[in-house]
Amino acid sequence: MRPLIAALVLAMGVAATDGTRNAEIAAAIKTRIDAKNTGGLVVATIEPDGSSSMAAYGNPGPDAKALDGDSVFEIGSITKVFTAILLAEMAERGEVKLDDPVAKHLRAGVRVPERNGKAITLIDLATQSSGLPRLPDNMKPANPLNPYADYTVEQMFEFLGRYQLTRDIGAEFEYSNLGVGLLGQALAMRAGKTYEALVKERILDPLGMDHTGVTLTPWMQDHLARGHSAGGMVMPNWDLPAIAGAGALRSTMNDMLKFLRANLDTSGARLPRLMQQTHVVRRSVGKDMSIGMNWLTRAMNGREVVWHNGGTGGYRTWIGFDKMRKVGAIVLANSGIGHDDLGFELVAGK
């Protein structure tokens, strides 16, 4: 670590690794956490030359290790881009086609709503244009602090069987946890394994993301950063058994940096090449925003930022990158306070 950066970081009490932007990141996260006094942040960037910077600061929660690159966070809806990559990967293998009706890959007898003779396809789900609502109406959680834990696949299929679409498929963008959860379920059923086993086999293991998964291993439990509400209350972790593909993954900054590097990799290697396919814009979302396969793209300061964020009861996360400049950032917070603006600033700030 260069002396001036080291002095600043140590004076702040911020844990950081060497890199070109440590002081900038350390200052930003200390200011934010001290102002809100809840949870903490681990933030990392990748620079055009391939170097990375990382800093961590704040409260890891009771009986938890100090925040660092090995701290485990729920990444929430960032899981959705992993589901999109699974779709691209399985399509290349010929296991599915992007325009397959999702019903084709569910068990016999499951009804998926149609409209005007059109069926919901896998790519409709991956572009948030299926016409399905954000959430089903038959969620009645026993524990509102872990709202998806007791929602079952059978309940999801029951909802689909009676739901009437209110707009044409593909007509509008509407963000749907249900839709991407259904996509993950369909891909898992097609592969004949759980969503977690599928994502581990096809993405996590090839990238060496050894501490990422749905189930907390003993190592992950030992390194877990405890989630906090926006008001500072320690929150329980979320479980999403039926719609895992929408938000069930947990990960570390060290693993997420591997994922970010793979998304920036233009070498032509198989998995990064498939990731590139998921970035390609497929429809407009609104002013200055569009969507590929679950990845959103925002025009900002004359740049294109490909990104997604995530949120569970006690965590807020963000990942994004500028492919032209080969820069990227990841923000992991163990609180209900989001820091998307910090991620955008680190990637596309003037």
pLDDT in tens, 180-230: 999 999 999 999 999 999 999 999 999 999 999 999 999 999 999 999 999
- Tell me, what's the pLDDT at 36? 78
Do residues 70 and 252 touch, judged by C-beta distance below 8 A?
yes
Under the banding of pLDDT at 50, 70 and 90, the label for residue 250 is very high
What is the DSSP pairing of strand 72-74 with strand 250-252?
antiparallel
Do residues 314 and 229 touch, judged by C-beta distance below 8 A?
yes
Helix intervals (H) in the chain? 3-12, 22-36, 79-93, 122-126, 153-162, 177-191, 195-199, 205-207, 218-222, 244-247, 253-264, 270-279, 340-348
Under the banding of pLDDT at 50, 70 and 90, the label for residue 1 is very low
Topology, domain 3-79+197-348: Beta-lactamase (3.40.710)
Percent pLDDT > 70 in the chain is 93
For residues 86-106, average pLDDT: 98
What 3-state class would DSSP assign to 161? helix
Given the candidates 3.40.710.10, 3.90.870.10, 3.40.47.10, 3.30.1360.120, the CATH classification of the domain at 81-193 is: 3.40.710.10
Q: Is the pLDDT of residue 5 over 90?
A: no
- Tell me, what's the pLDDT at 298? 97
Do residues 128 and 78 touch, judged by C-beta distance below 8 A?
no
For residues 283-305, average pLDDT: 95
Please state the φ and ψ torsions of residue 153, each to the nearest 5 degrees. Answer: -60, -40
Do residues 182 and 102 touch, judged by C-beta distance below 8 A?
yes
Smallest CA-to-CA distance from 48 within 340, 331, 324 is with 324
Q: Is the pLDDT of residue 26 over 90?
A: no
Under the banding of pLDDT at 50, 70 and 90, the label for residue 350 is low
Q: Mean pLDDT over all residues of the chain?
A: 92
In which residue are the tokens 């140590």 written? 10
Element (H, E) at 74: strand 72-74
Q: Residue 19, by phi and psi: left (phi above 0), alpha (psi -120 to 50) or beta?
A: left
- Tell me, what's the pLDDT at 11? 33
- Tell me, what's the pLDDT at 14? 52
Lowest mean pLDDT among 23-37, 111-125, 198-212, 226-240: 23-37
Percent pLDDT > 90 in the chain is 87
For residues 85-114, average pLDDT: 97
Handedness of CA 160, 162, 167, 169 (dihedral sign): positive
Span(s) in the chain for CATH 3.40.710.10: 3-79+197-348, 81-193
Do residues 324 and 341 touch, judged by C-beta distance below 8 A?
no
d(CA 289, CA 300): 10
- Tell me, what's the pLDDT at 3? 30
For residues 271-295, average pLDDT: 96
In which residue are the tokens 């977690």 written? 196
β-bridge mates for residue 308, sequence order: 319
Q: How far is CA 45 from CA 24, 60, 261, in A?
A: 11, 21, 10
Please give the residue that has the higher pLDDT: either 12 or 66. 66
In which residue are the tokens 């959430």 written? 135
pTM: predicted TM-score of the whole model, two decimal places: 0.93
Do residues 112 and 130 touch, judged by C-beta distance below 8 A?
no
Amino acid found at 314:
G
